[in-house]
Structure 1
Amino acid sequence: MADKGKILVVDDDRLVLATVVHGLSQAGYQVIDADNGDDAILMARQHKPDLALLDIRMEGKTGFDVAAYLREYLHVPFMFLSAFADDDTTRKVRELGAVAYLVKPLDITQIVPTVAAAMANIQARLPGAMADTKEPATAAGLASVMPGLRLGAQDVIPMAVGVLMHRYSLQRGQALERLQRLALDEGRPLLEQAERLVDAIELLARGQG
């Protein structure tokens, strides 16, 4: 299988780490991994990954610390895999400019399509590549650091589902059903409903800041 790009995966849960590493490797990516923030930065400096998948809450340097370093010094795009979707976390994710935010629990079949979409956008921004630089309004916050990395259904919908899971103590399937029901009741496409929900959470977080 052809190498589709180099991915750095960081998670202090070794089972999650092994699962994600195996799944992405099987999908054709070259994967490097770390189980803490300090090692993650060292690995990123050494291997220059195309994309990083970061857990947020770890001992020592957090995923946010690693993301800030990747952004400022290595210009490596990143996404977060986290069990937390509270307002402060969501706001910080946006401020840092993550290309996606997936809320645990999730499986590799959810991660791989998101990684593939992010990598496609990254490769489209390489010199000589043709890219559509028009960004949806809701992508502006998350893609502020790397213009052109766009949020699509594979990014906004998981974030909206994560918000509903957190706020209403729902399982992932239940949260998705609620989002679909809201979209149906209001006569909107699912992606538009997800964007409205994420925007509303961001406005609320700003008001509380």
Structure 2
Amino acid sequence: MNAAAPVKRYVLIVDDDQILAEFLGELLGHAGYETAIANSADQALKMVSEREPDLAMLDIHMPGMSGLELAKQLNRNTSVPFMFLSGRGDSDASKQAAAYGAVGFVVKPVDEKQLMPAFEAGLARADEIRQLRRTEVNLNAALAAGRETSLAVGLLMCKFQTDRNTAFEVLRDHARSNRRKVNEVADQLLAAEETLNSLHAAFNARLKK
């Protein structure tokens, strides 16, 4: 039996310049990505509502709703990461892109050597953000599920001087590797800590005699 073909990453290109949009689509298509083209922000929003892309490329200047306004809509209503297509390549353009939450931007006119490194860096950043969001969702669900998990995460943060996400990930991974529920491992960890504290108190009492 043949292995299933890997799922292609889906990229939405939003630009009112049809020639440029098709050029970008062709370049990304040859690189192994699935692409779709929207020639306006309104069309893009409709397409996103039907299927969210792994990354959207937004032209900043479009008639009607601009790429900047579209970016606000994506931030407000979706989890779609995006990068900008900009006619400017100065530091102000970079700061503007970052202020709107873009994972990168490509300066026009676009060529293949310029596009692919910037695009792949943007996609990698988008994946990092998506993973952080997923971890936060998992973390919030776990913390809401039981007081033990919350206390255990706090204990790990204190003992290993780490952040909340890392503490939860370590706790979760340990539970998975032992085929146990997170709250069960958390309860065991808290019980062990309580035992250690009791023994510590007993040792101190003995030394004072």
Provide the residue aligned with 1:78 in structure 2: 82
Letter in 2 for 1:65: E
Higher relative helix content: 2
CA distance 1:82–1:122, change in 2 (3 Å): closer
2:120 equivalent to 1:110:
no
2:60 equivalent to 1:56:
yes
Q: Is contact 1:3–1:29 with CA below 8 Å preserved after alignment?
A: no
1:33-63 CA-partner distances (Å, limit 9, x unpaired): 1011110111111110111101010000100
Provide the residue aligned with 2:13 in structure 1: 9
How far off its partner does 1:25 sit? 1.0
Provide the residue aligned with 2:47 in structure 1: 43
Distance 2:87 2:46 in 1: 25
Distance 1:6 1:79 in 2: 14
Provide the residue aligned with 2:170 in structure 1: none
How far off its partner does 1:87 sit? 7.0
| Structure 1: 5+ residue stretches without partners | 129-209
Secondary structure of the equivalent of 2:76? helix
Distance 1:84 1:122 in 2: 22
| Pairing 1:1-209 to 2, within 5 Å after superposition | 2-85=6-89, 89-124=93-128, 125-126=130-131, 127=134
1:15-41 CA-partner distances (Å, limit 9, x unpaired): 100000111111111111101111011
How far off its partner does 1:85 sit? 4.4
Q: Give the percent of matched residue pairs that are identical in Structure 1 and Structure 2.
A: 37
Q: Is contact 2:13–2:35 with CA below 8 Å preserved after alignment?
A: yes
- Aligned-residue CA RMSD (Å): 2.2
Structure 1 consecutive aligned stretches of length 4 or more whose deviation exceeds 6 Å: none
How far off its partner does 1:115 sit? 2.0
Distance 2:120 2:99 in 1: 23
Provide the residue aligned with 1:183 in structure 2: none
Distance 1:108 1:44 in 2: 26
| Structure 2: 5+ residue stretches without partners | 136-209
Larger relative CO (CA 8 A, sep 6+): 1 or 2? 1
Count of residues paired in the alignment: 128
Larger radius of gyration: 2
Letter in 2 for 1:32: A
Q: TM-score, normalised by structure 1?
A: 0.55
How far off its partner does 1:114 sit? 2.1
Q: TM-score, normalised by structure 2?
A: 0.55
